[in-house]
Amino acid sequence: MKLATFTTNGITRLGALVNEQMIDLNYGYTLLLSDQGVTSPYALADAIVPSDMNRFLEKGDEALKAAEEVIALVADGEKEGPNGEKIVYTEKEVTLQAPVPKAGKLVCVGLNYLDHCEETGMDVPKSPVIFSKYSNAIIGPDEEILLPVNSSEIDYEAEFAFVIGKKAKKVSKEEAMDYVAGYTIINDVSARDIQLGDGQWVRGKSPDTFAPMGPVLVTKDEIEDPHKLDIKLTLNGEILQDSNTKNLIFDIPYILSYLSQSMTFEPGDVIATGTPPGVGMSRTPQVWLKPGDEVIVEVEKVGKLRNTVAADK
């Protein structure tokens, strides 16, 4: 299932992208309950299939099963809620947001591709290199990456990310995948002059708009092996990063187990797994983002995350 956060008429809702149509899962489930004769379908639908991603993920398998029922209902031709609410939209009728726009934690792994370590001249880490980005940095597909006034060396980083589906604390590697809800894409935009000048990474990684995310959250049942996915980034049509998640140094079970020994993860937390080689900092000549650029990150079976670049005013 391709879960999405979308906006229509100024209202943000939760949907599933099916055959180029966006299905409003909450209103769809309200219709299903109404057809079953439930006396308070709106209240019960809000409890089982909430209209925002974090609350939906908290409901776990119950919400996913209900979402599948909604998709089946719509396939039979039902398209309006009990009070005439629109349930099915074309893609052009909605604006995609970051699938998890209110991620409680956005944790990132640095130097997690062997050839990326080599291109940066850094040693292969013996344990995951961890840093954080904050919610102010999260934007959705087709939104603008804004270049801050205090940096002139803004880099791109294609990243495959996974989303937590249930509370995780002291998780073993063997059980780690049970806590993963699904997958999305992150562009770990980085102000290299700030990052390297500070001697630590947080300020250079967390300016506003520096965590484009999307286009959707693909549930884990859709992807048999997340460690065999092509990942690439194009800048103005030129491929600058091109690799596969099989080249990760630390895989998803290792990362989640490692982190969960010291911090508790909640549904809707996002963990980005690192970037492959080809970043702008390591090129000759170096490549920095500039106003007017178009950046597209693509991960096999997840989709394409497109953003443009503009100066912050």
Q: For residue 80, how many other CB atoms are within 10 A of its CB?
A: 13
pLDDT reported for residue 241: 97
Q: Please give the average per-residue pLDDT across 215-219, as a whole number.
A: 98
66 SS3 class: helix
**What is the distance between the alpha carbons of residues 224 and 211, in angstroms, rounded to a whole number?**
26
Query: The CATH number of 2-96 is which of 2.30.30.230, 3.40.50.1820, 3.40.50.300, 2.60.120.260?
Result: 2.30.30.230
- Core vs surface per residue 132-171: b (16+ CB within 10 A) or e: ebbeebbbbbebebbbbeebebbbbbbbbbbbbbbebeeb
- DSSP labels, 135-196: GGGEE-TTPEEEEPTT-S-EE--EEEEEEE-S-BSS--TTTGGGGEEEEEEEE--EEHHHHH
**What is the distance between the alpha carbons of residues 158 and 145, in angstroms, rounded to a whole number?**
14
**What is the distance between the alpha carbons of residues 152 and 88, in angstroms, rounded to a whole number?**
44
Long-range contacts of 227-230, Cβ-Cβ distance < 8 Å, separation of 24 or more:
227/251, 227/252, 229/160, 229/299, 229/300, 229/301, 229/302, 230/298, 230/299, 230/300
**What is the distance between the alpha carbons of residues 106 and 272, in angstroms, rounded to a whole number?**
8
Q: Which helix (H) or strand (E) holds 68?
A: helix 61-75
Q: For residue 69, how many other CB atoms are within 10 A of its CB?
A: 15
117 SS3 class: helix
- ∠175-177-178 over CA atoms, to 5°? 70
| Amino acid in the structure at residue 10 | G
Positions of CATH 2.30.30.230 in the chain:
2-96
pLDDT reported for residue 118: 80
pLDDT reported for residue 119: 80
Q: Please give the average per-residue pLDDT across 209-228, as a whole number.
A: 98
**Average pLDDT of every residue of the chain:** 96
Q: For residue 312, how many other CB atoms are within 10 A of its CB?
A: 15
pLDDT reported for residue 141: 98
Q: Please give the average per-residue pLDDT across 17-25, as a whole number.
A: 95
pLDDT reported for residue 123: 82
pLDDT reported for residue 115: 78
pLDDT for 201 beyond 80: yes
Radius of gyration for the alpha carbons in the chain, expressed in angstroms and rounded: 20
Question: Looking at the whole model, is its pTM more than 0.85?
Answer: yes
Structure token pair of residue 246: 């099989």
pLDDT reported for residue 111: 86
Structure token pair of residue 170: 């002291």
Query: The CATH number of 106-311 is which of 3.20.20.70, 3.30.70.260, 3.10.129.10, 3.90.850.10?
Result: 3.90.850.10
**What is the distance between the alpha carbons of residues 228 and 224, in angstroms, rounded to a whole number?**
9
pLDDT band at 27 (very low <50, low <70, confident <90, very high): very high
For 55-113, what is each residue's pLDDT tens digit? Answer: 999 999 999 999 999 999 987 777 899 999 999 999 999 999 999 999 999 999 998 99
- Core vs surface per residue 20-39: b (16+ CB within 10 A) or e: ebbbbbbbbbbbbbbeeeee
Positions of CATH 3.90.850.10 in the chain:
106-311
**What is the distance between the alpha carbons of residues 4 and 141, in angstroms, rounded to a whole number?**
11
